Structure 1
Amino acid sequence: MRSVPVRRTVTALVSALALAGTAASPAAAAPRTIELVNLGDSYSAAFGTGGLQQVEDLPGCAQGTGRDHVDKLEAHPRVEVTLDAACAGATTKDVRHLVSVPFVGDALAEADVVTLTMGGNDIGWGGFIQACSAPAEAQYGQGPCEAMLAQAPSLIAGAAASAAETVTAIDAVADARIVVLGYPRLFDDRQDTPMLSAERAAQLNDWTDELNAALAAAVEEEGAVFVDVTDRFRGHGVGSADPWILFGPGAGDHNLHPTERGYLSGYFPGLLGQVARAR
């Protein structure tokens, strides 16, 4: 059975963030280790933090090589990441299929916590951003963007319903706390940029909010926990003075993914609290 890939070198988590809770007497038994399985899409696979590497035993499954929220948990003495099978480009259906892979199912059966992001690839935000970009609207007008935006409600509803099915599939094999993390708003919508007008940035951010709300309702109905990260990323979108979302001509596949700072300051605090509750 495949163990968690050694993706990135990490530093130890400071003791103030210990998951063991309040101090125990010397005679008390040591707190048990929490076993964690990480699944999901590129926002769970450290895209945006560095280079790319393939996950052992999962053909076509790529992860970033820098530090993210999963790495920081892995550094904790009371957390063991027994499997990291997040894959860039994964849809909710892809994650659901992964549950049936034998070594993934084995890891899930022993897990205390399962964490993942999912739903964004069901929507295909890249197409929205391309159609609604300032250069595209200058060349083709507003029609293609408006047509894409009109599809958003049905796409979001479908993604949320599929996410609920995926949670059900995970829950069928795992007696674990299932933590679904949401997506940040990608853009600073306070002013026009060469990429997007402020109006289009606000519309795309609003649809991200709608996706998060739909995912939260769907997965919580199936017993999972949803962690909203939008407040932690507020003021750090593309176009802001301090962006935590990567965007630039040299970023390639990492474009529009969190930077290392985004994962560690945006995603990690919310995930830490949920893992602590599973001890």
Structure 2
Amino acid sequence: MGRPELSVPGVTFSRSQADVAHDIAAQTEASSFTDATCSGARTSDFFSSQAPGVAPQLDAVTEHTRLVTMTFGGNDEGVFSGSFFGCATISSTDVTGNPCERTYGPTFTDLIENQTYPHLVAALTAVRKKAPAATEVILGYPRILPAIGQLSCYRSMPIAMGDVPWLNHEQDVLNAAVSRAARETGARFVDMTPSSLGHDACQPAGQRWIEPAIAPVNAFPVHPNALGEAAMARQALLQLGH
């Protein structure tokens, strides 16, 4: 089972053939696997249809399932779309400052702690109930932005310089919530932050694992590209001992 990813406004449903699920299935030579990934998915889409004709993601899990891989949480409560894309719309008012942080303050981190976290626990618990013998793996999000704002990156990632550390903190809070939910439910957490440093959306093609908001090459804006998906699969397999 695959991965809901970073959301893009207006995108209802999309699935890549070069994602974590496909990469892991290929490398482990799985006899069978089901990819239930959906771009823009939320934890609620585990339990109900995300789009017409699309089954709830939890339907892909059965008592015979042996490995479930997931990345989700960033779309819940509109956290990533509201912050990363929302900040892009107001950054021009103060490119060197922190207009987004001043506008939203702790809004998104509060949503993560108070709403996203219990949703994560509920979804992971539901997977465990349907597939009690499965190894359940949830991956954290790779680093989207560099450590500090870079004016040279503004054309492709229009985030005000002072808002970059604020958004990085938000991502840290989300990944911590994912890790905590994994511990609570007996799932395995794969931390993508250390290995993804230096591969953020501001890096050149061939080095970045996340495509920028403007002119992405082979993935939706602010989504992992093929290199990023492969790196996430590699980290998951390393932690699983493969």
Give the alignment's TM-score, normalised by structure 1: 0.69
Residues paired across the two proteins, number:
221
Equivalent residue, structure 2, for 1:268: 233
**1:83 Cα deviation (Å)?**
1.0
Equivalent residue, structure 2, for 1:223: 186
Structure 1 residues 217, 104: CA separation in 2 closer, same or farther (over 3 Å shift)?
closer
Q: How does 1:69-148 map to 2 (within 5 A)?
A: 69-76=20-27, 78-97=29-48, 105=59, 107-124=61-78, 125-133=80-88, 136-139=90-93, 145-148=101-104
- Could you say what secondary structure the match of 2:31 adopts? strand
Aligned-partner Cα distance in 1 for 2:120–2:105: 21
Equivalent residue, structure 2, for 1:178: 136
Q: Which runs of 5+ in 1 are unaligned?
A: 1-37, 53-59
Describe the superposition over 1:60-104 as per-residue Cα deviations: whole angstroms up to 9, x where unpaired. 642024x23322222235423421111111111212447xx6995
Structure 1 residues 263, 144: CA separation in 2 closer, same or farther (over 3 Å shift)?
closer
Aligned-partner Cα distance in 2 for 1:39–1:90: 11
Letter in structure 2 aligned against 1:257: H
Equivalent residue, structure 1, for 2:214: 249
Equivalent residue, structure 2, for 1:18: none
Equivalent residue, structure 2, for 1:156: 112
Residues 130 and 136, structure 1, Cα contact 8 Å, conserved in 2: no
Aligned-partner Cα distance in 1 for 2:101–2:60: 44
Aligned-partner Cα distance in 1 for 2:192–2:21: 15
Aligned-partner Cα distance in 2 for 1:144–1:183: 21
Residues 113 and 275, structure 1, Cα contact 8 Å, conserved in 2: no
Describe the superposition over 1:157-179 as per-residue Cα deviations: whole angstroms up to 9, x where unpaired. 11111010011111111021110
- Could you say what secondary structure the match of 1:120 adopts? coil
Give percent identity, aligned residues only.
26
Which region of structure 1 is more displaced relative to structure 2, 147-156 or 212-221?
A: 147-156
Aligned-partner Cα distance in 1 for 2:202–2:60: 43
Aligned-partner Cα distance in 1 for 2:28–2:143: 32
Which entry has the higher C-alpha Rg, 1 or 2?
Answer: 1
Which region of structure 1 is more displaced relative to structure 2, 142-151 or 196-205?
A: 142-151
- Could you say what secondary structure the match of 1:72 adopts? helix
Describe the superposition over 1:97-156 as per-residue Cα deviations: whole angstroms up to 9, x where unpaired. 47xx699547421111111111000142122123433x6233389565423232122211
Equivalent residue, structure 1, for 2:52: none
Residues 131 and 148, structure 1, Cα contact 8 Å, conserved in 2: no
1:62 matches 2:14: yes
Describe the superposition over 1:23-55 as per-residue Cα deviations: whole angstroms up to 9, x where unpaired. xxxxxxxxxxxxxxx133036xxx9xxxx9xxx
Residues 42 and 90, structure 1, Cα contact 8 Å, conserved in 2: yes
- Could you say what secondary structure the match of 1:179 adopts? strand
Q: Which structure carries more strand by proportion?
A: 1
Residues 46 and 56, structure 2, Cα contact 8 Å, conserved in 1: no
